[in-house]
Structure 1
Amino acid sequence: MTMIKWFLLAALSAAMAVPFTRPVIASEFADVLETPALRSELAAGSMVTGLARAGERLVAVGQRGHILYSDDAGQHWQQAQVPVSCDLLAVHFPTPQLGWAVGHDGVVLHSSDGGETWRRQLDGRQVGPIMLAYYQRQLDGHPDDADLQTRVADAQRMVEEGADKPFLDVWFENERVGYIVGAFNLIFRTDDGGLRWTPLLERTDNPGALNLYAVRPVGDELFIVGEQGLVMKLDRASGLFEALSTPYNGSFFGVTGKPGVALVFGLRGNVFRSTDDGASWNRIDLGLPLSITASSVTADGRILLVSQAGHVLVSSDDGASFQLQPNTTLAPVAAAQVASGGALVLAGTRGLRQLPLE
């Protein structure tokens, strides 16, 4: 598989040098989709790859199905009840109570109690059959459509491959409408809170089936970023995610900003800023050649970027420039979130830690 969200951390953590090994029970391999996450006092100090606000609460997801939540701005964490033990990569809460998490093996989890308990809504064993049924119905109505024939063949191959279909990000517009994106142009939408998922692969301007790393809104616009400089924006009239021209052909790992200002960030410190909804982009020189892996926005509108090594850069001018915040405890970072009290919480190979902001 090509590089996914946390592969940048591999060079900094020997633990990520090999694929995750499934838990062993009674000398037999256990299916991570059927094995609940083990409770561990060390969970908050282990690999964590996703963070989200659920109202005043923070919710974090990570390896082996670990999900944790904090009600004191990240000082203390409690472990949630999770029905799977596959690695989780991203989490989002559109309301304080309702949240979704995604990860390896095509898993989609849902919580209705602020992240304390979770249930499985989708997994990789279902992804292929859902795609096959959806595109086969379309092909039945248009049997000579070459694109649909390709979609059906691809879906059939995914059925045969099994559960190994990672989702890399999730975002919900409200309690019903949401999107999940992943490797090789995987993208699904739900209009009923995850009860049913519809594939949207034909609605992306991504003919190379590049990995989709993040889906996030900035103002009223919804963006998706991925490999090889891919940046797409949703055209709500047509329902298509249209590719935008950017001056960089390396991977983008995230998108952030505020109404009127969008920033995409990725490999080797490359950050680009747009003030015209993505029509044009200008490079922002960070003076830091390290990949940018996380972002957040403070309550007073400052934009934060975090490098793969844990450097925190702060902008007070809507992303036009960034200043490096002093930080003597660098550690690999995969996700960041400003807590309700204003402190920055960072997640990565060494778990969760709180960092005061100047």
Structure 2
Amino acid sequence: MVLPLAAALPDRLEQPSPHSDAAFAVMLTDIAQAGDRLVAVGDLGVVIYSDDQGQHWQQASVPVTTLLTSIHFTSAERGWVTGHDGVLLQTNDAGASWTLHLDGYRLNELKIASLQAQLDALVETPSDDPFLEEDLLFALEDAEVALEEGPVNPLLNVWFKDADTGFLLGAYGTALTTTDAGASWELISERLPNPDQMHLNAITLLDGALVIAGEAGLLMRSDDLGDSWYALPSPYQGSFFDLVAHKGELFALGLRGHLFVSADGGFDWEAVPVDTTVSFMGGYSDNQQLAIAGLGGTLLTGGQYQDLTELNTRVRRHFNAVVPIANGWVLAGEQGIFTYPLQGADQ
């Protein structure tokens, strides 16, 4: 999900997120489960967590004030958060405190090293593409300029297949992977069928295949856990903000009421009929229940797409993400946390 990007300020990477009562009302972009704990992230480097099903929240210790964009836990204790300015944060205490693992400076250096390695490889093994060397030289020049300008590109999504294997997605086609639990990261943008460097917003695993979604209808798939990728047909040309794998089907969440389902891993798509024209921002599945959250207080739930029902949240707030609790749902978005209990709506 790409949110409005302000000019990057160097001290955002050096200034810790201030502890304040106002932190509980900022825009939250994502929420995740860490064992029995809920952890949500958002603007100004805010991370908050709850140990009582979302009734009460505490603010975590975070070393940056950038807009945070996504969160993913590989265990009840170990988790990751992405953000603007190329931020990647890590926790080993279930989200109570965070350390800066990567930033935009390091990402720019990785991009330069990757492009230079590709150019060096052309000396040994010339390419059949007569424009490849020129394209790489132009890209290297751009990367060197970006290194001078600073960390301006956001990371937009973090996702791990298991404790060791993970992926980072970002603006302008940025994609990285790790196979050693984040100890090192490899830039893999050049592997993706994304010549226009569209923003990459979401990734998920379905029946052993990885699928990525992004802006302008971008969809791609890997059948070898990220070593190679190919483009998938897209059911529309707008942005996709999330992908949800549910009961063997794949859901793609888009703009203005565009919600699609694929029963064959992304090769064929069917529009899901919904009585709304809002944008869908985030979803959840545990292969039993499916939930989809969006703008205007939208929350759809059901066991499968045929019985998705819009719940009456009685609010018009912007929801970005949703997770279940024992007695309902907790949503993260505009003005912080919103709780929808099973018996009705409540803030």
Q: Is 1:248 matched up with 2:236?
A: yes
Q: Give the unaligned 5+ runs of structure 2.
A: 127-131
Aligned to 1:174: 162
Of 338, 343, 354, which residue of structure 1 is paired with 2:324?
Answer: 338
> Offset at 1:357?
3.5
Separation in 2 of the partners of 1:160 and 1:210?
A: 23
Q: Which amino acid in 1 is paired with 2:341?
A: P
Separation in 2 of the partners of 1:156 and 1:130?
A: 11
Q: Which amino acid in 2 is paired with 1:78?
A: Q
> Offset at 1:70?
0.8
Equivalences for residues 224-235 of structure 1 within 5 A: 224-235=212-223
Separation in 1 of the partners of 2:188 and 2:175?
A: 6
Equivalences for residues 100-249 of structure 1 within 5 A: 100-143=80-123, 145-146=132-133, 147-236=135-224, 239-249=227-237
Separation in 2 of the partners of 1:163 and 1:20?
A: 10
Separation in 2 of the partners of 1:220 and 1:44?
A: 38
Please list the CA deviations of residues 88-110 of structure 1 after superposition, one character each: whole Å capped at 9, or x if unmatched. 11100021111000111000000
CA contact (8 A) 1:284 1:321 kept: no
Separation in 2 of the partners of 1:167 and 1:86?
A: 11
Q: Is 1:326 matched up with 2:312?
A: yes
Separation in 2 of the partners of 1:40 and 1:20?
A: 24
> Offset at 1:324?
1.2
Q: Which amino acid in 2 is paired with 1:267?
A: L
Separation in 2 of the partners of 1:232 and 1:21?
A: 30
Q: Give the unaligned 5+ runs of structure 1.
A: 8-17, 23-29
Separation in 1 of the partners of 2:218 and 2:323?
A: 24
Separation in 2 of the partners of 1:77 and 1:94?
A: 22
Separation in 1 of the partners of 2:111 and 2:253?
A: 31
Please list the CA deviations of residues 231-270 of structure 1 after superposition, one character each: whole Å capped at 9, or x if unmatched. 1112217712321102201111111132411100110110
Separation in 2 of the partners of 1:300 and 1:230?
A: 25
Separation in 1 of the partners of 2:52 and 2:206?
A: 27
> Offset at 1:195?
2.1
CA contact (8 A) 1:49 1:347 kept: yes
Aligned to 2:2: 5
Tell me, what secondary structure is at the counterpart of 1:193? coil
Q: Which amino acid in 2 is paired with 1:170?
A: V
CA contact (8 A) 1:219 1:259 kept: no
Report sequence identity in percent: 35
> Offset at 1:151?
4.1
Count of residues in correspondence between the two structures: 335
Tell me, what secondary structure is at the counterpart of 2:100? strand
> Offset at 1:138?
2.7
Tell me, what secondary structure is at the counterpart of 1:240? coil
Aligned to 2:291: 304
- Greater Cα offset, 200-209 or 41-50: 41-50
RMSD of the alignment, in Å? 2.0
Separation in 2 of the partners of 1:186 and 1:202?
A: 9
Of 326, 333, 339, which residue of structure 2 is paired with 1:348?
Answer: 333
CA contact (8 A) 2:261 2:270 kept: yes
Please list the CA deviations of residues 50-85 of structure 1 after superposition, one character each: whole Å capped at 9, or x if unmatched. 111111111111111111111111111111111111
> Offset at 1:224?
1.1
Separation in 2 of the partners of 1:74 and 1:129?
A: 40
Aligned to 1:12: none
Q: Which amino acid in 2 is paired with 1:60?
A: A
CA contact (8 A) 1:86 1:105 kept: yes
Please list the CA deviations of residues 188-241 of structure 1 after superposition, one character each: whole Å capped at 9, or x if unmatched. 111222221110111111111111111222343322111111111122177123
Tell me, what secondary structure is at the counterpart of 1:249? coil
Tell me, what secondary structure is at the counterpart of 1:228? coil
Please list the CA deviations of residues 277-324 of structure 1 after superposition, one character each: whole Å capped at 9, or x if unmatched. 111111111111111112112x571211112112111222x2234221
Under a length normalisation based on structure 2, what TM-score does the superposition of the two structures give?
0.91
Q: Which amino acid in 2 is paired with 1:50?
A: D
Tell me, what secondary structure is at the counterpart of 2:314? coil
Of 70, 76, 80, which residue of structure 2 is paired with 1:96?
Answer: 76
Is the alpha carbon distance of 1:233 and 1:65 closer, same or farther for their aligned partners in structure 2, counting shifts above 3 Å? same
Separation in 1 of the partners of 2:99 and 2:160?
A: 17
CA contact (8 A) 1:188 1:199 kept: yes
CA contact (8 A) 1:61 1:88 kept: yes
> Offset at 1:325?
1.2
